[in-house]
Structure 1
Amino acid sequence: MKRPFETWILIVLLVLLSINAFYGGISLMLAPDGSLLGMQPGWLDKSPFNSYFIPGFLLLLMNGILPLFAVYGLITKNQNKSLNLLNIYKNRCWGWTFALYCGIITNSWIIVQQLMAEYFILQTIIAAVGLLILVAALLPRVMRYYKI
């Protein structure tokens, strides 16, 4: 089956998410006071964190590195046994499932962030990207393409 165009939209969304998370995560780890991103330390008052280092690390890991694994799986349709252990949809390529995980994690991240920190416009943009990742992954042609 020829790769549907919609799969490329999903891949681009995941790459954009990853780039944003790498920039944000590394910036927060380099300047745990949030100054590189113009964030105020007071925004953490309702959170369990004293600095932005751990949130930056989690951002880098969950929204930066995980999407790259998903992209690799989506492009190659590789059936890696180790990564397939984390695949809850055994009838789909693990890369597709990881793309779903990325959309869910991204939106969960934004919800928690809004509960614990101050609002800023980038949260809305990233939430939209997370929703678009879910929509793109759940398009029938995409789901059919990644069926095993």
Structure 2
Amino acid sequence: MPGLCKTLLVTFILLFLSFPCLCAQECPDNSSNNASDLTKTKCHPVRKEILDSLRSGVKSWSGLDVVFVVQFLKAKGSWAYAHVQPQSKDGKSKYEDVSALLSHEKGGWEILETRPCCGECEDDPDCADDRRYFNKLRKKFPSAPTDIFPSVE
């Protein structure tokens, strides 16, 4: 029996160490000085909530069930900004990018604004130019922390 307990303990430790995202997770909160970069943090619960909200939005707009390739995702307090590339679950079909500002309201993440994609932006300089687009977005939502947005140089 002691050998079995030791084996179980070693197995548990190895499993625990193989899933580092379960050990320490950076959580966006109002006390943090910087936005949490959730772009590559695959198993963060806030990341999942934000992406689930975006997935629900894409489903309601297009009827498509998608998964995302995350290009950019930052959150701070009750604000988040995401740029994702939707695709079919099997990865064979790719769809237009989605960029969105979200806010955590009423117990969940809500999409406040999406950036038009592709040809829809061509004739609008405030949309086509990144710097102008984010300046306009910050003016429209002044309480959104500036460090959740991509830097534009």
TM superposition score normalised by structure 1: 0.21
Structure (1 or 2) with the larger CA radius of gyration: 2
Structure number with the higher helix fraction is 1
